[in-house]
Amino acid sequence: MAWPPIERRQGARVSTPGNPELIVPTSWPIQVQDLAAGGLSFISSYRLAVGRRVRVLGTLGSRPFRAIAQVCWSGRARWPAARPTDVEIGATFVGFSGDSEHVLHEFLNHPTA
């Protein structure tokens, strides 16, 4: 590769005011602490800002569950086995995919089904 690299962009460039945010999709495991019809709390190795929306993917019983949740609060994890870097996060459900809302209600009413 030649140095300096050859400029290939043809379009105009602009500066972005403020603090723009670039979100890169990624995934990591979480430990669900509490699950309710309105949302969940979970332990994560990563901090999430209040207001951030996250996709929750998993299974309830043997059925797939897919939802969008919005972070309401976060803080240092307080459970006994928590690592110093673990964060506890609370989020409310703001949307569901397919029949996931029905799957959630069935699971909450009959958790062993």
pLDDT digits (tens, 9 = 90+) for 54-106: 999 999 989 999 999 999 999 888 777 777 788 999 999 999 999 999 999 99
For residue 13, the model assigns a pLDDT of 67
pLDDT greater at residue 10 or residue 53: 53
For residue 81, the model assigns a pLDDT of 72
* Sheet order of strands, 87-96 included: 31-36, 39-44, 87-96, 63-76, 53-60
For residue 23, the model assigns a pLDDT of 63
pLDDT tens figures, 6-27: 767 677 666 667 766 666 667 8
Angle at 29 between CA 23 and CA 34, to 5 degrees: 105
Rounded Cα distance, 98 and 11, in Å = 41
pLDDT greater at residue 38 or residue 79: 38
* Residue 38 CB coordination number (10 Å): 10
For residue 21, the model assigns a pLDDT of 64
For residue 110, the model assigns a pLDDT of 87
